Structure 1
């Protein structure tokens, strides 16, 4: 009797997907420092995963630009400089503006209601100082804009670029003052998409990402 292994659309198993997301998470949150060695045996024990699953995860994260594979020396967390992160954000402006404009053209009535609720939840999270919840809602908004845009190529580019710059952006997410600024920028993006106004959506996304760039420069 054959064994059935659940795989996602990328052809990897659920276990491999799980450990990929776990390792990605600790890198993005800064729990693993830039240039830190990633030992397969240690990761296997930490995340209760097989060595094969960890190896696949590291290969995927290397493709995303989060991990650096060293010939005959294993892997380490890839160091992304602040200047590189800013360059990535500059590239993201064009692609994310495209997705927002497409989302504004394609959003349904039901999705409009979903976005209105999301807007309210984001504002509430910031007003209550719940920055962890605000960060989660922010990620959800980014995901839903990509999904509604139905632009697979742009979405894939954004996902890859976002992974490489998000560690620096994560530093900003824990700053209450920054959250009070960014939540208004996100509200403007939502308002433009809900209004089905592609030009306003483009402008709102560009304003937000340029604001992120300015905030990152202030960290240097």
Structure 2
């Protein structure tokens, strides 16, 4: 299969894992994936190897591949690492942003605000991902961007769950607006600080999610 097709398959598999269509621990049988995505077994094998490198898939000798389960504790550790790296990107973006890029940041903030007003959690969540990705692009730090992509892929399922917490989209909107404002203002120190602050707020929300899930388990077993 052509390289473009291989990249498309990797993206499709990655999206299905992050959305939970292919759930944690689920076996990834080559024959089934070949039929599902309409590709060759060789293409599936290569895609699974790529996703193993990203930490989304684990393969065991003689047992095949499965979606890697990522614990909430691991998601918190990943977000702590992201706070440092994305803070750096925000600072660089504040220095590098062109007038057109500042306009695009504002536009993404408006799209996010519209999603929150419409109580559209899916759109809100996808737009936050778009914003973080765009900040990395404006930062022009490819090495950091590559590291962040891998980290984001592993933890995004939990971050979508955070977006479902009552009131969280409104909190997240205010935090992202502040990130945008500091970058647009060209204030590198402030941009780094507010981006870090936003991601530490996400960690607080992840911990709240853990407590909520723990409470559900206790009630279910009581």
TM-score over 0.5 for the pair:
yes
Distance 2:168 2:30 in 1: 37
Distance 1:34 1:112 in 2: 38
Number of equivalenced pairs: 210
Distance 2:129 2:209 in 1: 22
Residues 1:126 and 2:122 are matched in the alignment:
no
Which of 18, 22, 31 in structure 1 is aligned with 2:8? 18
Report the secondary structure of 2:65's partner residue. Answer: strand
Residues 1:105 and 2:95 are matched in the alignment:
yes
Q: TM-score, normalized by length of structure 1?
A: 0.91
Aligned partners of 1:131 and 1:176 also within 8 Å: no
The offset of 1:149, in angstroms, is 0.5
More helix by share: 2
Distance 2:12 2:165 in 1: 24
The offset of 1:176, in angstroms, is 5.2
The offset of 1:136, in angstroms, is 2.2
- String of CA shifts for 1:121-165, please: whole Å, max 9, x gaps: 111111111222222221211111111111111111111111111
Q: Which residue of 2 aligns with 1:39?
A: 29
Which of 100, 108, 130 in structure 2 is aligned with 1:140? 130
Aligned partners of 1:101 and 1:202 also within 8 Å: yes
- String of CA shifts for 1:12-46, please: whole Å, max 9, x gaps: x1111111111111111122221111001111111
The offset of 1:104, in angstroms, is 0.5
The offset of 1:179, in angstroms, is 0.9
Distance 1:136 1:91 in 2: 21
- Structure 1: tracts of 5 or more residues without a match: 7-12
Residues 1:70 and 2:63 are matched in the alignment:
no
Q: Which residue of 2 aligns with 1:9?
A: none
Structure 1 stretches (4+) deviating beyond 2 angstroms? 173-176
Matches within 5 A, 1:1-220: 13-175=3-165, 177-220=167-210
Report the secondary structure of 1:136's partner residue. Answer: helix
Distance 1:48 1:96 in 2: 37
Distance 2:24 2:176 in 1: 29
- Aligned-residue Cα RMSD (Å) equals 1.3
The offset of 1:115, in angstroms, is 1.2
